[in-house]
Amino acid sequence: MTPQITKVRVRAVGIVKKGNSILIIKQTDGTTEWNCYPGGKLEHNENLEDCLIRELSEELSLDVSVVQFVGIGTYVEGNKTTLEAFFICEPKSETLRINEKHIIDARFIDLKDLHAHQVYPLELTSDLEKFVTECDSNLVNIGRYYGQFS
C-alpha cells in the first residue's frame, strides 16, 4: 500500500551564477552529506522570489537578484512531498558567509565541473548549461517541469 501524503512543502531554489560559475552548497543531516543548490522553504504570505532572496540572505549572507525561472520538480520522503521551484540568480555582493549548521560548505564551481560534484537534483544539473546559456541570450519561457526526482 502506498503511504498517504500528509505534508506538502514548497521551496525556492537559487541557481546563483557568477561568470561561468554556479554556487553549490554541501549540506548534512548529521549522518549524510550531499551537494545541492541553495534555497529554502516558502513562508506564509511570501512569493517564491522573495523567499529565495530571504533564504540566501539568512543562510549565506548573500544578496541576489532573481533573473529567470527555470523549472519545478518534486520529491517524496516518507509521507512528505516537496515541490521545488528553481530560479537563475545573480549575486549583488561578494559576501558569502555560512550562517546555518546544516550547511557545511558553500562555493562557486565552474559550470563544466558541476557533474563531478554530483549536485542534486541531478536532472537539473544536467540541463544547467543550457539554461544559463539561454538566460544569457535573454530567451524567455525556458522553464521545465522535471516531474518526480529520483
For residue 54, being part of any structural domain is answered with yes
Strand boundaries in 29-129, DSSP class E = 33-36, 39-41, 64-77, 80-91, 103-110, 119-120
For residue 42, being part of any structural domain is answered with yes
How much is the pLDDT for 139?
Answer: 44
How much is the pLDDT for 94?
Answer: 84
- Chain-centroid distance of CA 27 in Å reads 12
Q: For a pLDDT cut of 70, what percent of the chain falls above it?
A: 83
For residue 150, being part of any structural domain is answered with no
| CATH number (domain holding residue 138) | 3.90.79.10
Number of separate domains in the chain:
1
How much is the pLDDT for 33?
Answer: 96
For residue 1, being part of any structural domain is answered with no
Boundaries of domain holding 112? 7-144
- Residues 19-75 have pLDDT tens digits of 989 999 999 999 999 999 999 999 998 999 999 999 999 999 999 999 888 888 888
Overall average pLDDT of the 3-26 stretch: 89
For residue 134, being part of any structural domain is answered with yes
Supply the mean pLDDT for the chain: 86
How much is the pLDDT for 15?
Answer: 94
Nearest CA among 70, 65, 64 for reference residue 130: 70
Overall average pLDDT of the 87-99 stretch: 92
End-to-end distance of the chain based on CA atoms, in angstroms? 20
Overall average pLDDT of the 102-127 stretch: 91
**Dmax (CA) of the chain:** 50
For residue 100, being part of any structural domain is answered with yes
For residue 133, being part of any structural domain is answered with yes
